[in-house]
Amino acid sequence: MAVVKGSVQDELVIVRRAPGFRVWRVIWLIFLILATGVGGYALGYFDSRTQIKTLKEEKRYLTDGLRTSEQAIEDLSQRVAILQKGGDVDRQAADDFRETVRALSENVANLEQEVAFYKGIMAPGSADKGLRISKIEVVPLGNRQYSYSVMLTQVVDNTNFVQGEVAVNVIGLRNGVREIVALRDLDASVAELGIDFRFRYFQEVKGNLNIPNDFTPQQMQVVLQSRGKNSQRVEETHTWNTPGEA
């Protein structure tokens, strides 16, 4: 072989291989791959089992916590229901108590009015002795109908009866013109212009009025005229102000 002077020459090494070397190398490579796969599978399997066990424990813990929370919610719901029921009972009791107090207050007020009424009648030292009109009241019944009440009283220092007549008129407008309508034209139970009265302490004159559609009441006039030695004439006009009517 010719050699050029001054050039670098690579050395050629010849290695002798035993027969079947390539086959064994392939077998070892396959074994290594299989071992690696089996090891990875085993590692993954045991790791997953550990994770599954941990997750099961966490699930059981969460399930127990959820069950406890649900029980607590149910208990609280029952307590809230009981408190609400108790609150409803308390409110109902308070409403009933207020209604009772209101009714008692009204009753007391009525009794006080009655006491004042009877005291006014029986007070012999009163400067306003004699025949009086203590009350004029008109209450709407609907459909242009009204109930009326006139209380006649006598403040006396003796037990003498007083008698005479009471005339009741309704003053209003008919077609824009002022008009005075007698009680007998509005109350079917009254036949005369005057109603006889006779009492010692008090007497109530009452009935129902039927007001015509073309008549607008504005006032109720009451005139008392007693008979006898000490006769009196008492007149009072009451504004037509009926409660509960617009």
Q: Residue 74 sits in which domain range?
A: 20-122
The closest of 230, 42, 224, 16 to 133, measured between CA atoms, is 224
Tell me: pLDDT of 165 over 60.
yes
Contact 226, 131 (CB under 8 A): yes
Q: In the listed set 122, 155, 173, which residue is the last one of a domain according to the structure?
A: 122
Question: CA dihedral defined by 49, 55, 58, 60, rounded to 10 degrees?
Answer: -80
pLDDT in tens, 67-110: 888 888 888 888 888 888 777 887 888 888 888 888 888 777 77
CA 4 → CA 7, 10, 11, 12, 13, distances in Å?
Answer: 6, 13, 15, 17, 20
* Mean confidence (pLDDT) of the chain: 80
Q: Mean pLDDT across the stretch 39-47?
A: 75
Contact 221, 171 (CB under 8 A): yes
Q: What are phi and psi of 61, to 5 degrees?
A: -65, -45
Domain assignment present for 3: no
Q: Which helix (H) or strand (E) holds 24?
A: helix 21-122
Domain assignment present for 107: yes
Q: In the listed set 65, 92, 122, which residue is the last one of a domain according to the structure?
A: 122
